[in-house]
Amino acid sequence: VEEQRTRVSGQQPAAPKPPAAGQAPPPAVHRVTVAVLLAALIGAGLLHWTLVRSFRAATEERAARAAMIVARAAADVATAQGAEGESLNAAMSAWQKEHRTVRAVRVVNVDNRSIEASTFAEDLKEGEVPRRMQRPEKPLYDLGQELRGNIETNASEGNRREKEVAVEQKADGLLLIAAPVEKDGAVVGFAQVLTAPEVVSVSVPNPFFAIAFALAPFVVILALSFVWRRGNLLLVAIAALLLLVALFAYRQWAVGSLIGGAEEAERQFAERVQREAGIASRVAPGAQAKANTWDADVHRTPLRVDPAKAVEGQKDAIAGAAYGISVLSLALLLFIGLGAAHRTRNALVQHRQAYYYIAPALVGMLLLVFFPFFYGIALSFTGQTLYNVNQPFSEIWTGFQNYKEILGDFTVIKTTAEGGRAANYENFYYTLFFTIAWTVVNVAIGVTVGLFLALILNTKGLRGKAIYRVLLILPWAVPNYITALIWKGMFHRQFGVINHLIAIFGGTPVSWFEHPVTSFAAVVATNGWLSFPFMMVVSLGALQSISADLYEAARVDGASRWQQFTAITLPSLKPALIPAIILSVVWTFNMFNIIYLVSAGEPAHSTEILITQAYKLAFEQYRYGYAAAYSTIIFAILLIYGVFQNRMTRATESIAA
């Protein structure tokens, strides 16, 4: 509102609120100031949000690591207590009392086949500890054997290939961690701890910093706007530069604070190890001897790592996000700064009624048709599969790789293992050729049969026309997936009626879907059956609208029936038939159900059309990126066809006119 007021008043030479200089700056300058503030705030805000998310992700990783230290401490307490005996249970209970997050702890001795100590309710229900393990507790024994085996394997191989600590995620986010317990240098069992994730809290950066970084370019532009009255474009350019610099600086600062957070976390880990060592030595003197090895991964490899390396993943995420965010806020700046936002708003206000009516449909279309469309195009430049759906595009970006693979592969004929030659049915050009053949054959059949029937039904004085017409439309009325499944049944090798019919005429039954040619014949028959009524109805409608006088006049002039057909009937059918043909070409080209349900591409994808192939790539091979590229190519083909067809109809229209 404020801005609009200035804009309106700006038209007049005398401004109502003159700044110090006594004259209002041109409105565009104001606009740039507002634009840079908004763009910077949104950009920095989004970056801040990404940063906070990165901190959270790092915190989760650290929680698991901290829980591991606790479990290792418990194991060393048990080791110091000699891994068995009455006092062990008391020691473990005392140890647990020192930890608020630990819910239960148990020590299992594999050599004795016993549970030496436990505060697990399920263990105590079965009897006092220490006691021998019972049959239902065999999994614990197995776990102990597995850990012992792993550690022996690692020791003999001299590496740490196998896991030496077993971590299990339980319900409600609890962790169940088993660490080995030793006696006289040999593994005899394990200590298992059920614990809530240990929170290693690192203070999340204050949003104030984001605001500060965002305000900097705004202040500069504001100052400039008082000095600078003209040169709107230059001002926009300066604003854009400042914005990018500010966002870049904020990004650097954000990465820095992330590493700072990691350093802080390392200090806390060191402290935690100290504290655990203290507890351990109080409960069982000597248990703290190996405390410096506790901060380790599941292979018991020490984890005192470089803080910068620890947050590598998060750092990359922020850097990647920063590019996107910069582009977004730059676009916003230009959109507002160059006045496009203004014009858009004016149009919106002026025509708001129209936009109200359109809004629901438009929002639906934008969210569920156009957004997915552009998302699909973006997807086509990535190597996304089922297994990396959650990774950001920046990490799986492959550029034109998919397109190169699809369009650059010309091996339509491949050499088989036996040295023979065979068509490569997986090849894009083969499928394209097949799709075109399929479309042409089907449309030709549809038009021929449809037109032929229409001509017969249009015979003057023919009785029962209405009944024939209704019965002949039936194939079109039946939902096409049902048609497809019916024909699939009729083409059955053993029980299908079509093979019975062939047998009556002395032929041998055909395995329809085991050879490309017969398979093609089967799908064409199915599609021909359901597509001729449309052409028949269209032709019939057009035929009925031809005036009988024309034929009368032609007969008077002595024209033959054939001449009448070519000179009157065909030209009169053209305006109705051409759109119908155009439409049925697109329908047949995209006739998914028939191919998918009748032949399913058998044999060996040889009767696949482009669209079923794309579907199978996505939902049977789960190559989302590759399938998206495939679909984009199909769209390009259809678009070219659409433009071409548009030109053609226009040309024919102008000739007709």
Closer to another protein at the Cβ: 226 or 370? 370
- 500-509: long-range contacts, CB 8 A cutoff, minimum separation 24: none
Classify the phi-psi angles of 190: left when phi > 0, otherwise alpha if psi is within -120 to 50, otherwise beta.
beta
- Determine how β-strand 413-415 pairs with β-strand 175-183: unpaired
Closer to another protein at the Cβ: 222 or 396? 396
Q: Which of 94, 120, 144 is nearest to 194 (CA)?
A: 120
The values of phi and psi at residue 486, to 5°, are: -60, -50
Smallest gap from Cβ 123 to another protein, in A, equals 38
The sign of the dihedral angle between the CA atoms of 441, 602, 431, 419 is negative
Smallest gap from Cβ 642 to another protein, in A, equals 6
Polymer length of the chain:
657
Smallest gap from Cβ 406 to another protein, in A, equals 14
How far is residue 148 from each of residues 114, 155, 188, 290, 449, measured CA to CA in Å? 15, 11, 7, 19, 78
Name the helix (H) or strand (E) containing 178.
strand 175-183
Smallest gap from Cβ 605 to another protein, in A, equals 15
Smallest gap from Cβ 236 to another protein, in A, equals 23
Closer to another protein at the Cβ: 218 or 512? 512
Smallest gap from Cβ 640 to another protein, in A, equals 11
* Cα 181 to Cα 76: distance, rounded to the nearest angstrom: 7
Smallest gap from Cβ 352 to another protein, in A, equals 9
CB 581, CB 445: distance < 8 Å: no
Closer to another protein at the Cβ: 89 or 612? 612
CB 179, CB 190: distance < 8 Å: yes
Chain centroid to CA 390: how far?
7
Residue in the structure block whose two tokens are 């499944």: 485
* Cα 322 to Cα 511: distance, rounded to the nearest angstrom: 59
Closer to another protein at the Cβ: 606 or 631? 631
Give the number of other Cβ atoms within 10 Å of residue 604's Cβ: 14
Residue in the structure block whose two tokens are 């479309």: 439
Closer to another protein at the Cβ: 204 or 637? 637
CB 241, CB 233: distance < 8 Å: no
Partner residues linked to 421 by β-bridges? 415
Closer to another protein at the Cβ: 5 or 343? 343
Smallest gap from Cβ 170 to another protein, in A, equals 23
**End-to-end C-alpha distance for the chain, whole angstroms:** 53
Closer to another protein at the Cβ: 370 or 400? 370
Smallest gap from Cβ 400 to another protein, in A, equals 18
Smallest gap from Cβ 385 to another protein, in A, equals 11
Partner residues linked to 183 by β-bridges? 186
Smallest gap from Cβ 638 to another protein, in A, equals 5
Closer to another protein at the Cβ: 308 or 478? 478
Closer to another protein at the Cβ: 208 or 374? 374
Residue in the structure block whose two tokens are 């097949």: 434
CB 121, CB 104: distance < 8 Å: yes
Smallest gap from Cβ 8 to another protein, in A, equals 21
Closer to another protein at the Cβ: 253 or 630? 630
* Buried residues in 165-185 as b, exposed as e (16+ CB within 10 A): bbbeeeeeebbbbbbbbbeee
Residue in the structure block whose two tokens are 């600590």: 165
Helix (H, G, I), strand (E, B) or coil at 423: strand
Closer to another protein at the Cβ: 515 or 574? 574
Give the E-state strand segments of 434-570 in sequence order. Answer: none
